[in-house]
Structure 1
Amino acid sequence: IDCGNALDPRTQGPRNQCGGFGDGYWTHAYDPSGPNAIADGRSIRTVPEAWDTASPVAMSPPIWGIRRQSGNNLVYDQVYNDTSLDPQITLRYRPTDNISLYAKWARAFKGGGADISTASLPADLDAFPLLPEKAQNWELGAKGTLLDGRANFNITAFQINIKNLQLATSVPQGLETQSSVTTNAGEQRTRGIEFDSRWAATDRLTLGIAGAIMDGKMVSYPGAGCNDTEFELADLGNACISEAEALADPDGFPEGTIDRTGAEAPRTPKYKIITDLDYWYPITDNLKGTFNTRVSFIEEYIYEVEEFSEIVKYPDRTVMNLRFGLADMEDKWSVQLWGRNLLDAGFKYFPEFDLLADGREDKEVSQRHWFSYGINFSYSFR
């Protein structure tokens, strides 16, 4: 809670203002009976939908000082029931004391609109567009220990199918509407192999490797939003539906949409391999030095779920983290110097996919990952 004095723009007088968790805050005029006093001195602010008006926001004022957002929220202020049976079946077999095999099938469900913002809700309840998404997962795997317990491993082959996947999709700027809408993709399928293993090579050295090899496809996704490049070039005959095509087929998909069936699933690299190395060495009888490195090798992939654009995406990259430190032999305390993403891997601009004459299409080129470093100190009171 952060409280202080501020100027009330409505009364032009001082007021106390306390900001709590979230966007809710309250005001109280010093002189509510004065000539510039407002009727009740309350400030109406938007509070996230997860908070009901009967619940306080952090150390908030009485509930009369907070109101939820007005508008179509009242239309949806009712109980929703979606019934789904989500079973899970797992079979496990131990051929030896150190090896376990298993097979698993599971089904999951998420109600339509579970992730949608209230600002995107249609005014008419009957026009609510989202169907519930349903997923099925198949797994076949093994885990165990080797080398008298000095090594362990896990490996799993999997396939996940999600029908009516709820995705935000772009609306081209040329249509002059909202920037994105949430819709149902027909089906997404991801399959592959996941694995991890650790090996205590010596009493001081531990090696690890983990990763995934994946293949993600949009099995069915008609009606996705075109990105701006596709929309601007629609009249040249690409897959984006132009205004003329939409008018010629009024029962089909609207202008500015595209069929992304068969496209690679975004945020699904073909491979991701992570290697770990932990090592410590004695300096004195009570002091040791520590070293840890983690290096990830990741194949390029599309990040933009809304646009499926390749103009700005993650390239093939290597992400390296390092830690050097000092600690006592009992690990009661430690001091570490650390660095993350030392190779400064991040987004990259690919001009060969930017076909518009005005150059770069996506201005949001800021990296989601950046090089950082610091010092960490820990102490155990046990």
Structure 2
Amino acid sequence: MKLRSGAAARLLAGTILATIASGAYAQAVPETPAASAPANEATQAGVDAGNSNDIIVTAQKRTENVQNVPIAVQVLSGSQLEAGGVRDFTDLTKVAPSLIVRPSDQPVNASISIRGIGTFAFSIGVEPSVAVQVDDVPVTFQARAFADLSDIARIEVLRGPQSTLYGKSASAGLINIVTLAPSSTFTGRVNGLVTTDNEYTLGGTISGPLSDTLGFRVSANHNDFNGNVHNLFNGKKVNGRTSTSVKGKLVWDPTDAITATVGLNYIDGSTTYGRPFIRGLGSTAYLRGNVAQPPSVYAPGVVVSADNDDVSNNAPAGTNYDGFGQSLKVEADLGGPTLVSISSHDRYTLDDFLDQDDTSVVAPDNRQGGRFKSRQWTQEVRLVSPSDQPFRYTLGLFYADVTYSRRFIRGPSFSLANWYGTSGSKQEAAFGQLEYDILPRTTVIAGLRYQHEKVDYTYRDFIPPAGAAGYFSGSANDNFATYRLGLQHKFTDDVMIYGSYATGHKGQTYDLTTGFNAQRASGGPVRPETSRSWEIGTRTQFLDRRLTVNLTAFTSTYRNFQAQGIESFPDGTVNYRLANVGSIRSRGVEFETSARIGGDLNLGASVAYLDAKITKFPFAQCFPGQTLAQGCNPAVAPRPAFQDLAGARPAQSPEWKLSANAEYTPSLGSLPVKGLLQAAYSYQSAINFSLSQDPETIQKAFGITNLSIGVRDKEGRFEVAAFLNNAFDVQYYANLLNSRGTYNNQTATQAQLPRDFRRYGGIRATVSF
């Protein structure tokens, strides 16, 4: 469904009216209890109102100074996101060194990796290795997270297993997104952006008290970008996006001890895709081996090169999506501990369509597409002790009921598919974390989570092979525990060292993809993936907390790694399928520093070194065209060709990654404005987008620089800046695909181009009142 501007306006107006109507029943400006985030926007963004050099987070489900948190966490403020050119979820790769977000033409195949660990598989039932939550609500369907990042207070990137507090989808880490809360006085803001390559964004926010006990915040944002790939077939731009989002919050504080927060969010959008050929397509790269269809016929006008941004597709490719979520958070101060209840519901629908042959010929004209639907209900209750006691605890219960469905059709010329599948998961968990100061500056930490989960599925193949069954269903149960142990010592108020050991768990699942059959059904669910991680770190601040230096070292092991592999069944049948195919070891060092120099210069830098290795993967798929000399063992019936990936580097795991930013805001004499100079730089060493080590899918090392110059009102009423993204016009790729199988087994490498594939500039402005 497309949300037109009139519908967006009606939705926004309805939300505001509902908010005003509710004000008749309440009386005060919301002041959250100790366990929740303050209403001041600077504090929400991660800055302590009492000390502008302190960063506040909720990484451990309680409000704390990040320098006192004994886990590896990076905090990204709204200004950092702005300077780094971050406007949607995939852009987070630029500013978080341990994080890689890889987009895909099918959002369910997109993946998030932290410390080289992510999800390298496709199935509607596969859960991610990196969890995402927004305002305490988990985002269970990963494609749902790939949306705009408007009205954000801060983003916390938690690295390493976080399963004890955050559940089974956080075996490699967590991205915690916190949106802005209502302000204590009536405020409004309008922001806009326009670029030299025809992107525009328009957003607005109103916030403030409706009465002495009720506050509200409503924001709306619209973004439109035609794309940076040219389709020669019809002259249109593709690889673009359009989205409209509306977010609302009501915070009611009927007494000094109780606060209730209602959250609403709606998003409606679409994307278009174009995958230019960047290598290959020689004269004999015939389409499906047909000598009558060389590249000059099926890709007329396309000049293959490393910086090619042309395609020739006669069918559209992209997605249409919409989602609506609601949440209710109630906090009750019990005269010491705080009782917190968080209820949520979300539904999301995504239609995807693709010109599967990537050509403009009439025959074969293969297309694919379908619909994803997800629906989730979650309920969390937790009891949080005060943070200023020598014995602290967080105790909780969690329940989730999540369902997915997928309709998929491909054809009519080759690789035919027509099926419908559903996947369900019900989770019940109890969790807790205890912290005890055994000495005035020494703390021991212990956390435990015990969870029961039931998964089920149905799969109907509408074109099963002759004599084969067309319908399957099943279910499975699992009970498991994860835990965390830690020791923390503060030498001074500004120097802390910690060590921890944590385990993670990624749940069992069924391989619901094209080709699901009786053998896959009889094999049962894929076993859970587990992780174990050691971590040691220091958190230090100097010069009246104007200089922060943090260092973390870690080593993690992931066993029963879930990925696409080769599996043999007792009857001799062999399938390419999702399976527990091996193990991975990930270890490295992360360094973060920031400095406030005077009152107008802020500097920051983060560096991550990663030594990641596959330790066991004996029957991995060979990459397209791989030879015996390159390690591909020939097929011996009934086993297809395979390779042993032991010793290889996992996909999406750069050895080095760094980001740096600077902001200078000098006074301009007697003028009522300050100058604004911002610079952001990100570097990434080479990675392979394919787990199979395909040499055609390697992204070489690159660095990107973004620059901004403008003015900012001293009272914070407005800001105007001109910016230049990818200032040195460095070409790189967001994803790579080896398509030689469709083109006569000749080199045919396609790329998904990032938003800043080419240098572009623009102007952004914000006006507040």
TM-score of the alignment, normalized to the shorter chain, above 0.5: yes
Distance 1:341 1:182, change over 3 A: farther
Contact 2:350-2:373 at 8 Å conserved across structures: no
Equivalent residue, structure 1, for 2:708: 323
- How far has the Cα of 1:239 moved from its partner? 2.3
Which of 262, 266, 278 matches 2:663?
Answer: 278
Contact 1:311-1:349 at 8 Å conserved across structures: no
Equivalent residue, structure 2, for 1:239: 631
1:197 paired to 2:566: no
- Distance in 1, matches of 2:546 and 2:765, equals 30
Which of 613, 620, 625 matches 1:224?
Answer: 620
Equivalent residue, structure 2, for 1:183: 579
Contact 1:140-1:157 at 8 Å conserved across structures: yes
Partner SS state of residue 625, structure 2: helix
Query: What TM-score results when the alignment is normalised by the length of structure 1?
Result: 0.70
Give the AA of the match of 1:327.
R
Matches within 5 A, 1:124-203: 124-128=520-524, 130-168=526-564, 181-203=577-599
Task: String of CA shifts for 1:266-304, please: whole Å, max 9, x gaps.
Answer: 211111122211111223431122111111222112122
1:268 paired to 2:648: no
- How far has the Cα of 1:330 moved from its partner? 1.9
Give the AA of the match of 1:338.
F
Equivalent residue, structure 2, for 1:374: 762
- How far has the Cα of 1:3 moved from its partner? 9.2
Contact 2:667-2:675 at 8 Å conserved across structures: yes
- Distance in 1, matches of 2:421 and 2:684, equals 42
Runs of 5+ in structure 1 lacking a partner?
A: 5-18, 25-44, 58-67, 172-178
The structure that is strand-richer by fraction is 2
Contact 1:140-1:156 at 8 Å conserved across structures: yes
- Distance in 1, matches of 2:484 and 2:613, equals 24
- How far has the Cα of 1:161 moved from its partner? 0.9
- Distance in 1, matches of 2:734 and 2:507, equals 35
Matches within 5 A, 1:44-59: 48-51=372-375
- How far has the Cα of 1:258 moved from its partner? 0.7
Equivalent residue, structure 2, for 1:32: none
1:110 paired to 2:495: no
Distance 1:358 1:149, change over 3 A: same
- Distance in 1, matches of 2:474 and 2:523, equals 16
Contact 1:288-1:329 at 8 Å conserved across structures: yes
- How far has the Cα of 1:313 moved from its partner? 1.6
Task: String of CA shifts for 1:128-175, please: whole Å, max 9, x gaps.
Answer: 46221001111100102111211112110011111112123599xxxx
- Distance in 1, matches of 2:491 and 2:753, equals 48
Partner SS state of residue 747, structure 2: coil
Range with bigger deviation, 118-127 or 281-290: 118-127
- How far has the Cα of 1:375 moved from its partner? 2.3
- Distance in 2, matches of 1:228 and 1:135, equals 31
Equivalent residue, structure 2, for 1:363: 749
Contact 2:680-2:707 at 8 Å conserved across structures: yes
- Distance in 1, matches of 2:579 and 2:555, equals 23
Which of 74, 81, 87 matches 2:483?
Answer: 87
Partner SS state of residue 311, structure 1: helix
Range with bigger deviation, 129-138 or 257-266: 129-138
- How far has the Cα of 1:77 moved from its partner? 5.7
Give the AA of the match of 1:375.
I
CA RMSD of aligned residues (A): 3.6
- How far has the Cα of 1:320 moved from its partner? 1.1
- How far has the Cα of 1:261 moved from its partner? 0.5
Give the AA of the match of 2:495.
I
Distance 1:136 1:373, change over 3 A: farther
Task: String of CA shifts for 1:18-45, please: whole Å, max 9, x gaps.
Answer: x973358xxxxxxxxxxxxxxxxxxxx9
- Distance in 1, matches of 2:710 and 2:623, equals 48
Q: Which has the higher contact order (CA 8 A, sep 6+)?
A: 2
Percent of aligned positions that are identical: 21
Partner SS state of residue 481, structure 2: coil
Contact 2:421-2:512 at 8 Å conserved across structures: no
Bigger radius of gyration among the two: 1
- How far has the Cα of 1:105 moved from its partner? 0.8
Contact 1:312-1:362 at 8 Å conserved across structures: no
Equivalent residue, structure 2, for 1:346: 732
Which of 643, 658, 667 matches 1:258?
Answer: 643
Contact 1:170-1:227 at 8 Å conserved across structures: no
Contact 1:122-1:128 at 8 Å conserved across structures: no
1:289 paired to 2:613: no
Contact 1:110-1:133 at 8 Å conserved across structures: yes
Distance 1:203 1:238, change over 3 A: closer
- Distance in 1, matches of 2:474 and 2:527, equals 19
Task: String of CA shifts for 1:92-144, please: whole Å, max 9, x gaps.
Answer: 10111210111111101111237x55546444522246221001111100102
1:332 paired to 2:717: yes
Equivalent residue, structure 2, for 1:99: 495
